[in-house]
Amino acid sequence: MQAGLSIAKSSKPTWSQIKARIKHWDKDQLTGLIQDLFGHSQKNRDFLAARLLRDSMGEHVLAPYLKRIEAAFYDKRGWPAKRLDLKDARSAIREYQRATSDPAGTLELMLVHVETGTQFTHEFGDIDEGFYDSLCTTLHEIKKLLTSEEGRPLYGQVRARLGELARQADGIGWGYGDYVGDVVGEVAEDNEDEG
């Protein structure tokens, strides 16, 4: 360590600290900061596009998030990824949800996650408990959304896909197939009760 330098224990920066710093910034300073964030990483660009351009980009705003979900399972050639990264697939869903608060887009990403995982199992065989736990967690979030007030109107758009998912998952081990069938049935029942 260099003489005269002392490294104090630093805590993680908080939003309150950041907010206090930028509170009195003018428009140009804030625009410059956002431009720097945009240039810093692809994830930042995707977030800003989802937050600010969703109305003009439509479903195209989902593309980078869908790509991350697919990359969690498959490499660019369509072979299994060297390391399954289900954590990043679920992070992509959460990041989109935080950026947009868009239930339809979030539902699409969650369904693609579970559908892709189910397809992956059919192609490459039984995986492990953690793999199915990740898919079941996402499936539980789908159920929670589709049985909520904001999500019920989306059910008709995905009913057939959920039925196909249950059919595809039937017989898959670790209790996964049974869980998918149960959740799809519960979501259908809940939405029929509302209809």
pLDDT exceeds 70 at position 74: yes
Domain count of the chain? 1
How many other C-beta atoms can be found within 10 angstroms of the C-beta atom of residue 175? Answer: 12
Average pLDDT of 59-64? 89
Residue 42 has pLDDT above 90, yes or no: no
Q: How far apart (Å, rounded) are the C-alpha atoms in residues 76 and 61?
A: 21
Contact call for residues 180 and 139 (beta carbons, < 8 A): yes
Question: pLDDT per residue over 158-176, tens digit each?
Answer: 999 999 999 999 999 889 9
Query: Please, is 29 exposed, middle or buried when counting C-beta atoms within 10 Å of its C-beta (0-12, 13-18, 19+)?
Result: exposed
pTM: 0.82
Distances in Å between the Cα of 80 and the Cα atoms of 47, 69, 90, 116 are: 27, 13, 18, 12
How would residue 194 be classed by pLDDT, with cut points 50, 70 and 90? Answer: low
Sorted by sequence, the CB contacts under 8 Å of residue 69 that are 6+ apart come out as: 89, 92, 93, 109, 112, 113, 116
Q: Is 100 a residue whose pLDDT tops 80?
A: yes
Mean pLDDT of the region 98-105: 94
How many residues belong to the chain? Answer: 195
Q: Would 43 be classed as within a structural domain? A: no
Is residue 52 included in any domain, yes or no? Answer: no
Inside any domain, residue 112: yes
Q: Is residue 38 part of a domain?
A: no
Name the pLDDT band for 10 (thresholds 50, 70, 90): low
Give the separation between CA 13 and CA 107, rounded to whole angstroms. 32
Where is pLDDT greater, at 138 or 26? Answer: 138
Query: Is 62 in contact with 106 (CB distance < 8 Å)?
Result: no
Rounded CA gap, 107 and 143, in Å?
A: 10
Q: Across residues 100-118, what is the average pLDDT?
A: 96
CA atoms within 13 A on the CB side of 78: 2
What does the pLDDT read at residue 58? 67
pLDDT digits (tens, 9 = 90+) for 75-89: 999 999 999 999 999
Say if 29 falls within a structural domain.
no
100: containing domain: 64-194
